[in-house]
């Protein structure tokens, strides 16, 4: 991997100037900031992405990851919940990676049913 991060950010900015609602450009730019551990900048990008494409799973997933890195667990859970609503099968792994899965399961259990039901859903997805 070349890791030419600043060049990538410039390229994504150029793409966004040409097509201001390009969700792929927002997601790419956000991931570059995540790789650089520039979490506040990544969050700004993902805020824009979720506003532009509120039904894009990856916008919410990546926003949740970013919020987790910023130690904003409650907000991260909300973002992951939205991603799960949109696409349950692809979101659990990101929650697990940030060790937010127990918190998310607790929250879902309070809202949706028994812990056993939610755990069986997770086991199917992993």
Give, as one character, the DSSP assignment of residue 88. G
CATH number at 41 reads: 1.25.40.10
Using CA atoms, how far apart are residues 23 and 63, in angstroms rounded to an integer? 13
More confident residue, 13 or 68: 13
Section 3-18 average pLDDT: 94
Number of domains in the chain: 1
Does the CA dihedral 110-112-114-120 come out positive or negative? negative
Q: Which of left, alpha, beta for 37 (phi over 0: left; psi -120 to 50: alpha)?
A: left
List the structure tokens of 45: 């990008």
Q: Range of 66's domain?
A: 5-125
Q: 23 with 56: CB under 8 angstroms?
A: yes
Tell me the pLDDT tens digit for each residue of 68-113: 889 888 898 889 888 888 887 765 555 555 566 666 667 667 766 5
- Residue appearing with tokens 């997770």: 122
Say which residues have a Cβ less than 8 Å from residue 72's Cβ, sequence separation at least 6. none
Tell me the pLDDT tens digit for each residue of 59-68: 999 999 899 8
Q: 88 with 121: CB under 8 angstroms?
A: yes
Per the confidence metrics, is the pTM higher than 0.85? Answer: no
Section 22-40 average pLDDT: 97
């Amino acid at each position: 991997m070349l890791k030419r991060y600043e060049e990538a950010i410039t390229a994504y900015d150029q793409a966004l100037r040409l097509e201001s609602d390009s969700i792929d450009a927002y997601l790419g730019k956000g991931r570059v900031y995540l790789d650089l551990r520039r979490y506040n900048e990544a969050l700004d990008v993902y805020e824009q992405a979720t506003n532009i494409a509120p039904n894009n799973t990856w916008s919410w997933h990546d926003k949740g990851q970013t919020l987790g890195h910023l130690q904003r667990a409650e907000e991260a859970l909300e973002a992951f919940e939205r991603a799960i609503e949109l696409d349950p099968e692809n979101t659990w792994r990101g929650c697990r990676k940030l060790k937010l899965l127990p918190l998310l399961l607790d929250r879902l259990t309070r809202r949706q049913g028994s812990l056993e039901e939610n755990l069986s859903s997770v086991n199917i997805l992993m």
